[in-house]
Amino acid sequence: MKKFIYISLSVVAGLLLSGCAKYLERDNPVATTDDKWWSLESDVRGYLDQIYGGIPGGSLNYSWHSNSWSYLDGLSDNMIFKADFMGDVTNIPLGLGTTSTSIFEQYYTNSYNFIRMASRLLEHYETAYVEDPNIKKRYAAEARALRAWYHLMLFRMYGPIAIVDHSLNADESFVKRNTQEEVISFIVQELLTAEKDLPSKYTENDNYRFNKGTCYSLLSILQLTVGNYKEAARYAKIVIDRKAEFGYDLHKASDPATNSYADLFTYNGVTSPERIIYKKGANTEAFFRNAPRSLGGQAVGSPTASIVNEYETLQGKTIAELGGDSLKIYTNDPNYRQNRDKRLTVSILLPNETFINRKFEPFKNVVGNIDLIGQTQSTQTGFLVKKYVDPSDVSRPYSGALGFFVLRYAEILLTYVEALVEDGQYSNPDVILYLNMIRNRAGMPNVDIQKYNTKEKLRELIRRERRVELAFEGTRLFDIRRWKIAETVLNGSVYGAVNPATLKPYVVQTRIFHPKRDYLWPIPLRETNANPNMEQNPEWN
């Protein structure tokens, strides 16, 4: 069997300085030897749950800041992030990232730690007593699928990486990165191998675990990332065709009068069939971090005018195509006469909107207005992120119980239709069928097939649908990278809401994106210093 290249031991050295050191020194931090750890089923299951711990969440992750995906949109054109934590997310879009930037090192180091843990489980699980041999094989398959997940995420951030398919030893230092083809092949092999021993679905208590559908979903995401559209469509279609087996579907509110998209991000969505990868309790501070200061929040995420202007009217028109006076009206008052896609007000708090009995007035320049634009812990654009800010959490802003959708069924539908269009199959009826499902669920009309009838027009629509459907869920950075539009959307002035005093959009900041450098994060300086064979990404030296 082919052996893959391994990463420098500088990663291990870095991790020994971190809070995860106990897992690198011993699998069982309280036992005298590791041999005594791998004996009971509870040991294996407990260790496996630790590996799931690296799955990203929504609000602040205290042990792994860069794994808070709601804030990852601050690195995209969707949002300005400003807080007294995760300063790198504020500074990187200004062109201030370096090979020593902590978010780059933290993501790299922590990901490899979880890969090591998955490898340790695969090397030792057979010695444990597990009464049901199928459950025992399932544990190993979960670890293998998780190892593939962490490789995939490293690949999306840093490009071709060093593959780790077992725990490291001292003889495996100072090696080179694998090629892109090798990384893709490894992830595919891991997921297809894992899928064989995973169940189709779990009971509710175990529904955070990876199943067969998770593996096919990740295969589709991988292939979309690298532009292998035929394979991306094939794997996504497996998920769609077998959705009943996997327990997947678009969320539907139990009350017909409730918008199902809005319902999804409340406590009614906690057990939704839309979950593919879902982290329980990973949005405990969503209210505290995102709500306006007048409601006790920190207002850390400020959406840009760029994303606000993407939402269509209820008639399915973009405000840009309306033009003239209508464009001016909707620019000044984004939800004029409540005539915009409902996903706008589900995801974004707009100026002068009343939320939880309090009017949000970012441009009211009077003494005592703690929501005034530009202040510390206030909106930077005139808008705030509202997705996941559940009004029922107002009395417990630090300790909500919402989870976070890392990957949901709607994204697989969008992956499928994008892959079909990019593969030249834009006339396939599935494209319109699944776009309409997503739009109708949010209360939007069917796609205008007279207007969206070419590859170029459907690409435009799909990219807009991905942006508004998945807003503030951490996907936008990956999208603008693979579409190679980051150099356009992340360069120049960033605008917020229209200031009623000047009737001009509020200018927030000027961003800088270097296209020869910034499509990939750098390999951390500590890694390249320790291993002269570890090649740095272009322009980061």
Which bin fits 500, alpha (ψ -120 to 50), beta or left (φ > 0)? alpha
User: What's the whole-model pTM score?
Assistant: 0.94
Beta-carbon contacts of 210 under 8 Å, excluding residues fewer than 6 positions away, are: 142, 145, 146, 149, 194, 198, 277
At the second CATH level, the architecture of 1-67+86-198+519-541 is Alpha Horseshoe (1.25)
Residue 33, pLDDT score: 54
Q: Identify the three-state secondary structure at position 302.
A: strand
Q: Is the pLDDT of residue 29 over 80?
A: no
Domain locations along the chain? 1-67+86-198+519-541, 285-400
Query: CA-CA distance, 249 to 121, in Å (whole number)?
Result: 32
CB-CB contact of 401 with 366 (8 Å): no
Q: To which residue do tokens 């949901």 refer? A: 408
CB-CB contact of 116 with 164 (8 Å): yes
Q: Find residue 509's DSSP bridge partners.
A: 494
pLDDT, average across residues 379-399: 97
Residue 173, pLDDT score: 73
Average pLDDT value over all residues in the chain:
93
Nearest of 393, 115, 199, 142 to residue 281 by alpha carbon? 393
pLDDT in tens, 391-415: 999 999 999 999 999 999 999 999 9
Residue 1, pLDDT score: 39
**What tokens appear for 70 in the block?**
């709601």
Query: CA-CA distance, 79 to 462, in Å (whole number)?
Result: 20
Dihedral angle of Cα 50, 56, 62, 68, to the nearest 10 degrees: 180
pLDDT in tens, 92-103: 999 999 999 999
Q: How confident is the model at residue 64 (pLDDT cuts 50, 70, 90)?
A: confident
